[in-house]
Amino acid sequence: MEGFAPNTPHPWRWIPTLYFSQGLPYVAAMTLSVIMYKNLGVSNTDIALYTSWLYLPWVIKPLWSPLVDLFRTKRFWIVGLQFVVGASLAAVALTVPGPGFFRATLAVFWLLAFSSATHDIAADGFYLLALPTHQQASFVGVRSTFFRLAMIAGQGGLVWLAGALQESTGNMVQAWSLVFGSLAVLFVLVGFYHWFVLPRPGADHSVCAEHFTTGYFSAFVSFFQKPQIVIILAYLLLYRLAEAQLLKLATPFLLDDRAIGGLGLTTQQVGIYYGTVGVLALTIGGLIGGYIVSRWGLQRLLWPLIACMHVPNAVYILLAVTQPTNPLWISAAVAIEQLGYGFGFTAYMLYMMYVARGENQTAHYAICTGFMALGMMLPGMAAGWIQEHIGYTNFFVWVMIATVPSLFVTALLKIDPAFGRKE
């Protein structure tokens, strides 16, 4: 373990599991909940409205992030919250078969979402404390890779498993109960593993409340004093206006019967096409996007990347009009859209880094992510209602129209030409 303190667990023993466990609760709250509710007969209007509210913990995450610094250690928060996540997942498994399951599971998903958002704060802070500065950059790729693998495991593997269990048992309720129960057991085991394996860096301790509170409020004030702050906020809120609506209805569209405009896929097929092929394409798009920006800089590639973000959304119009049955065509369409999303999201993430530059970089980036989550939450809430009133084909046309505001805002951005380019 060259380069690390003696008796300190090597980063490879805990970084992969830490960020895999960071990704799974997010997938459970944002994606598995949507597919489960669709399988259990909940309307698109209710699915989009109520599951979009689950973004709220990530919206307001910067407001309670000081608690993680003020009380106990980040290691304590990580392990404790993993047990809370495990308990939340077990509660979902137990409430799915019961009466009033929609309200009961939503309440538990709220607990899961708050626990997951707080876990993100602790994990990201712990990463900076537990690794030497020169090693932090080396493991950034490992972090993102295992977070993406969690997405594949959740959107792909667990969705496929739910479909397989439904076929074997003939009971979709029981299938989802077993999926969430298995996930709960996994998280309890992960919590115990991290209890023993996570390092105990000396810098991981609570901070002085008075000093931190002063810095906390000054960070907020300085963020809203940035040049172009109105344009910045408009960009953060509007860039994903179209994608926020599309993401909320993509899986219901794939699952809905062909008679009402969907593709009539099985849950297993959605797990493969959307959860596995789609996420792999998303990951590849993000990697390539990051590489080309490092070559030519964000400003030069801003418009090509936003085109990659929005234009591929049109494949869903094609899918809705033609309703293909060939799995290759469906997989290819999903992959094209997700690949473009990966490209375009790179620009979004880098712009948040650009905005966050300066004395309070960490706090300002957290504020940016809060507005990012708000930009996903608000449009997603109305998506189901819109779709049920105008149908899938017209809804996807509306999604394309909804890309226009981001184009206007992007045209107003001012970015240093050298930002993002590797010298």
Mean pLDDT on 171-185: 94
| Angle between helices 11-27 and 172-197 in degrees, nearest 10 | 150
Compute the chain's Rg from CA coordinates.
Answer: 21
Which residue type, as a one-letter code, is found at position 382?
Answer: A
pLDDT, tens digit, for every residue of 141-155?
577 778 888 888 888
Which residue type, as a one-letter code, is found at position 76?
Answer: F
pLDDT, tens digit, for every residue of 56-93?
998 888 787 777 777 778 888 899 999 999 999 999 99
* pTM for the full predicted model: 0.84
What is the predicted pLDDT for the residue at 355? Answer: 86
Residue by residue, DSSP assigns 294-307 as HHH-HHHHHHHHHH
> How many whole angstroms separate alpha carbon 3 and alpha carbon 410?
43
- pLDDT of 4 > 60? The answer is no
What is the predicted pLDDT for the residue at 2? Answer: 42
Alpha helix segments (H runs only) across 198-240: 209-223, 229-238
pLDDT, tens digit, for every residue of 256-313?
999 999 999 998 999 999 888 988 998 888 888 878 887 888 888 889 989 988 988 9
- pLDDT of 347 > 70? The answer is yes
HEC-encoded secondary structure of 95-149: HCCCCCHHHHHHHHHHHHHHHHHHHHHHHHHHHHHHCCHHHHCCCHHHHHHHHHH
| C-beta separation of 367 from 223 below 8 A | yes
| C-beta separation of 283 from 149 below 8 A | no
pLDDT, tens digit, for every residue of 234-265?
999 999 999 999 989 999 999 999 999 999 99
Which residue type, as a one-letter code, is found at position 191?
Answer: G
39 compared with 129, residue with greater pLDDT: 39
Domains of the chain, each with CATH number or no CATH? 1-207 (1.20.1250.20), 212-423 (1.20.1250.20)
- pLDDT of 3 > 50? The answer is no
- Tokens for 115? 């626990």
